[in-house]
Amino acid sequence: MMTTIESFLKRESSAGILLIFVTIFALILQNSALSSVYSAFLHTPVEVRFGELQIAKPLLLWVNDGLMAIFFFLIGLEVKREVLEGHLSSLSQVALPGAAAVGGMLVPALVFIAFNQGDVFAMKGWAIPTATDIAFALGILSLLGKRVPLSLKVFLLALAIIDDLGAIVIIALFYTAELSTASITVASISLFSLIIMNRMGVTNRAAYIVLGIVLWISVLKSGVHATLAGVALAFTIPLTCKKKDGTEFSMSKEMEYGLHYWVAFLILPMFAFVNAGVDLRGISLDQMFTPVPLGIIAGLFIGKQLGVFGFSWLAIKMGIAKLPEGSDWRQLYGVSILTGVGFTMSLFIDTLAYNDTQIYHYADKLAILIGSFLSGIFGYYVLRTAKPTVK
């Protein structure tokens, strides 16, 4: 089990480092003479048509609605596996990361609300600082090597999975447009068919993929955000099933393993590239001191660490949970700061909250980068100056 976890963490850490370079590249393109080329790339029209069925979107939305659905499909597979047989399969295992995740979503949201109460449109972004970018956070942890015990990395991983599950619920409840009855009906039939296939022990992967595409298209057309189709599909993929010769295998684990590299090294970097290109030339200092950017920065950098560490401290002091093995309070606090690295997930929720408008002239997106940067730098410093783990 530890070998599998270490392999996963290594992939996620490498992806986090790649995201840093992709983000810098996007910022350079957007703030140089090549900004028009970068903008044209984002708005490249892409159209798919089957008879009367047409999906026409700019490349930016194909990434946000299409590729991110695959990302959430992977998240769904991870959540299902962890809940059924992994680090979230028992109350004792889920207690600490669960408490930390609740605090890490609740407190940042309250911080943002404190800055923006009274502004109805601005309040749509309350969930922006509640997210954690696991790839980035683990990428920073990887720079510390063995100074951070594996138990803390597993804690961060479990926390991020619960955090992602919370993000899925938030998107479903608060970022859904007006619904199309016809599309919802098709989506419901598709989902019901997938569940029946699961219960009947169908092992044809192509059948799940084809119905999954139908589910995605119908959800896309329904008004519910298309990424939720990925999660719903993931929950219907069999964790254990039998081939015709009687041998057992896990379709869910095989698909999860196969997708990890594509998500870590293509989908998330592509998402970061098309969303992190903040035009710094049009942002003034006055704009950064408005409630929305301040709420995002404070939510990520202050709210996240207070929520995660505070709720973890309470859970441990109340005897509900224990400190991760081989770690101390300073190390737990350092990891709590790192959860403020929202980046891709925060950018994603930002596009949903403000419908990718430029009403804040990129100040909201720059605030996400600043809050994530501060959390990464200070979290690294706290962990780097902590005493190394003694075996």
pLDDT one digit per residue (tens) for the chain, 391 residues: 445 555 555 555 567 778 888 989 999 999 999 999 999 999 999 888 877 777 888 898 899 888 888 988 988 888 888 788 876 777 777 889 999 999 999 999 999 999 999 899 999 999 999 988 877 787 777 777 777 887 888 888 888 878 878 887 888 788 876 678 888 899 999 999 999 999 988 888 999 999 999 999 998 888 777 888 888 899 999 988 887 777 888 899 999 888 888 888 888 889 889 888 888 887 888 889 999 999 999 999 999 999 999 999 999 999 998 888 888 899 999 999 999 998 888 988 898 888 866 778 788 989 999 999 999 999 999 998 887 655 5
How many other CB atoms sit within 10 Å of the CB of residue 27? 17
Angle, alpha carbons 76-82-88 (nearest 5°): 125
Residue 184 host element (H or E): helix 181-199
Contact between 334 and 266 under an 8 Å Cβ cutoff? The reply is no
377 CB-near residues (< 8 Å, 6+ apart): none
Q: What is the pLDDT of residue 1?
A: 45
Retrieve residue 195's tokens.
């569940």
The interaxial angle of helices 343-353 and 363-384, nearest 10 deg, is: 160
- Distance CA(105)–CA(113), nearest Å, equals 12
Confidence (pLDDT) at 291: 94
- C-alpha 196/C-alpha 203 separation (Å) is 12
Q: How far apart are CA 236 and CA 77, in angstroms?
A: 9
Give SS3 for 169: helix
**In whole angstroms, what separates CA 166 from the centre of its chain?**
10
Look at residue 305 in the predicted model and tell me its pLDDT: 96
Ranges of beta strands (E only) in the chain are: 45-50, 53-58, 241-242, 248-249
- Terminal CA-CA length for the chain: 19
Other CB atoms within 10 A of residue 323 CB: 17
Q: What is the pLDDT of residue 4?
A: 54
Per the structure block, which two tokens stand in for 119? 């502004």
Half-sphere exposure of 7 (CA within 13 A, CB side): 7
What's the CA gap between 160 and 104, in Å, rounded? 10
Give the Cα separation of 27 and 25 in Å (integer): 5
pLDDT of residue 2: 47
Whole-Å CA distances, 84 to 94, 156, 171, 313, 358: 12, 19, 24, 27, 42
Tell me what pLDDT residue 103 has: 96
